[in-house]
Structure 1
Amino acid sequence: EANPNIVVTVDLLTTGVDVPKITNIVFLRRVQSRILYEQMLGRATRLCPKIHKDKFTIYDAVGIYDAMNKVTNMKPVVKNPSHNIHYFLNHKKDYFEVNEDSYQYQVDMAGAVERKIKRLDDKKRKEFERLAEVKSVDTWAGKLSKLDKESFLKEWPKFKQLDRLNLTQRKQVISNAEDKVVNIARGYGDGNQEPADYVDSFTEFIKKNVNTIPALQVIATRPKDLTYNELKDIKLKLEQNGFKENDLQTAWKSAKHVQTTADIISFIRQVASGSELIDHDVRIHNAMQKVYGMADWTIPQKKWLKKIENQLMASTVLGPTAEHAFDDNFYFKRQGGYRQMKKIFPENADQIIYVLNENLYV
């Protein structure tokens, strides 16, 4: 056959069998040699990323597995490979808090992590590395089983991040039953929450952490002092906890029946300080009108003011000072940064950013 599914061989060795796609081994007769037995098992340990192979199954019709188990070094590291990350997340108390001897569960969970990582495409890998703040997902996963219990449990937020990632390829479900639309709904955040519950979860998170996360406190009380890097950090922290700007906008619309394009800063301030939720473009337009009215700008200066407005639309915040705004932002830094802006606006570069910050969150 061109693509055989079943191959019968004496010992998988004499004919030089090396098929990475092997996922099942059936033993139909015993062998007396431990080395031969381990070599036969080794035929199924070949990696095969093409089919997302993460385990193999032994079907033992003659009891060779039990007979050799006492003398072989080839034993499954993971007791139950069918348990995924989500399973262990739901059994944290049983396995890691109540049970003092939790090492085997740690090994099993580390195995579940590695199995999922092998199935991530490059885009998902980079997304996880960004959210989990790890340089290499493979290096991180390889160290998990060697950590002490306390260090292992500190990685729990990263396990949650990995569990949230949906795999590009899912198992195909085949059914002969007639399709019927029961309900159409979109879930948000952890547990696919209803829109109103998602908004409530965000509100609860902000209120709980506004005094413990420095950048949140700055947004709530002194938004004009917020730096571009602080905004990036708080966006990452929120995303790590399941909150994204686009999701908040659509959930707010569904829950409140009000369309909004408010940015993440507006959502945070609405919770933390009771500020009105204003659409992103409206807020920036209003602040820029104050800047346009500052002076009789030349045509080249007006073009640069438009570039500043476009950057605000894209990045939400520039910085607490003109030096921060024009040196931290990649676009302006590439154009010469603060020094170049002082040449374009000799008397107004600092004042432009000051007026913007004073009027963005009034």
Structure 2
Amino acid sequence: MTRPLIANIARIIWFNCRIVVAFICGSKHCSSDKIAPVSSMKPVVVNPNISFTQLVEELETVKNPDALETVINQLLVKIQRKRRHLSPNNQEQLEAIAGMPLLNMVSHLKQSTPQQVKEWWEQRKALAPLAAGIAQILDLRDGGTVPILVSRHADELVAIERGYGNAERPEDYLDSFRAFLLENMNKIPALMIVTQRPRELTRAQLKELRIGLYTAGYTEMNLKTAWREVTNEDIAASIIGFIRQATLGDALIPYAERVDRAMNKILGSQSWTSPQRKWLERISKQMKAETIVDREALDKGEFKTQGGGFERLNKTFAGQLEVILKELYLKCSL
């Protein structure tokens, strides 16, 4: 039995592939020798090396609708690829600026019109004057600026320590956090609201507060780690919980537990219809993910698509939905 040459096999495979492509694209140019290019399809990301910063700049300047849609598609694909390689700190900062988990951000932008996407990026840019923008964070890499240190000495493990910015010990980090809050209580309006009128805190104010704290060197993740190393208690508290503990001495309780406890009080306060209970449970789930669920949040996602948004949901609750949300959030803060 004679074996066909590898070159012949490769040629047959190549020819068959071109026939398939030609069939898909509706082309009749399938000559085995002089076959014309039959596909002009391009990948979504034409230039994989283009930076996020450049794409965002084009998002602000491009006027042609088709070109704008191409820029947005490239941006979304790059975000999805980059998401898997983000450090926890960078992801936390991104989500603080975006005001939502990264997956939700991509989904939100996909469902938006090109004009809405442009407006969304402009709002984020205006929201974070003290912090790096989303595009700049996504572009972060050492870029060869970190020197390669070469040593001919044998490696030796001396100690394992965690850094806390300017603080060397977790105790110092928590103390400096408390000092920062007290010094800026009258300078950052959201701090006053968190400590005195928590039910009035809005999602926008929470975003600004997180960005301001990040800029000053305080993140939810580092606070959790410092608290665990000082107290041996691993508590998944929210940034609001850490602020109230540091300034008011409130007990530090996991935020999900606070939400469950508050929701149980709400559900036990009166008789609710089945649709009302269903939406209260969904609101509870959303609060655990995003801390605050307000009127703006109820006009998005499943609350909009399945519940009709705030106005329709408010009718389900006899016009008392906003009151219920404020009461729920107040109970979460106590």
TM range, smaller chain: 0.5 to 0.7
Q: TM-score, normalised by structure 2?
A: 0.55
Q: 2:221 is matched by which residue type in structure 1?
A: N
Q: Is the 8 A contact 2:259 2:288 kept in 1?
A: yes
Q: Is the 8 A contact 1:227 1:324 kept in 2?
A: no
Distance between the aligned counterparts of 2:316 and 2:292, measured in 1? 21
Q: 2:175 is matched by which residue type in structure 1?
A: D
Tell me, yes or no, if structure 1 residue 296 matches structure 2 residue 271.
yes
Within a 5 Å distance, the mapping from 1:307-322 to structure 2 comes to 307-319=282-294
Q: 2:199 is matched by which residue type in structure 1?
A: K
The residue that corresponds to 1:187 in the other structure is 163
Distance between the aligned counterparts of 2:131 and 2:275, measured in 1? 49
Tell me, yes or no, if structure 1 residue 279 matches structure 2 residue 254.
yes
- Secondary structure of the 1:360 match is helix
From 302, 312, 324, the equivalent of 1:340 is 312
The residue that corresponds to 1:245 in the other structure is 220
Distance between the aligned counterparts of 1:186 and 1:306, measured in 2? 38
Q: Across the two proteins, how many residue pairs are aligned to each other?
A: 212
Distance between the aligned counterparts of 1:250 and 1:166, measured in 2? 25
Tell me, yes or no, if structure 1 residue 176 matches structure 2 residue 152.
yes
Q: Give the Å deviation of 1:233.
A: 0.6
Distance between the aligned counterparts of 2:332 and 2:225, measured in 1? 23
Greater Rg by CA: 1
Gaps of 5+ in 1: 1-49, 51-120, 137-154
Identical aligned residues as a percent: 33
The residue that corresponds to 1:350 in the other structure is 322
Q: Give the Å deviation of 1:278.
A: 1.6
Distance between the aligned counterparts of 2:131 and 2:332, measured in 1? 34
CA shift in 2, pair 1:300/1:241, >3 Å: same
Q: Give the Å deviation of 1:330.
A: 5.8
Deviations 1:279-326 (A, max 9, x none): 11111111111121133334333322221011110111224xxx4563
User: RMSD between aligned alpha carbons?
Assistant: 3.4
Q: Is the 8 A contact 1:210 1:272 kept in 2?
A: no
Q: Give the Å deviation of 1:261.
A: 1.2
Q: TM-score, normalised by structure 1?
A: 0.51
Structure (1/2) with the larger helix percentage: 2
CA shift in 2, pair 1:249/1:301, >3 Å: same
Tell me, yes or no, if structure 1 residue 359 matches structure 2 residue 331.
yes
Distance between the aligned counterparts of 2:161 and 2:316, measured in 1? 52
CA shift in 2, pair 1:216/1:156, >3 Å: closer
CA shift in 2, pair 1:199/1:168, >3 Å: farther
Deviations 1:70-125 (A, max 9, x none): xxxxxxxxxxxxxxxxxxxxxxxxxxxxxxxxxxxxxxxxxxxxxxxxxxx99799
Q: 2:255 is matched by which residue type in structure 1?
A: H
Q: Give the Å deviation of 1:333.
A: 4.7
Deviations 1:148-181 (A, max 9, x none): xxxxxxx9987xx99xx77376433232211111
Q: Is the 8 A contact 1:325 1:353 kept in 2?
A: no
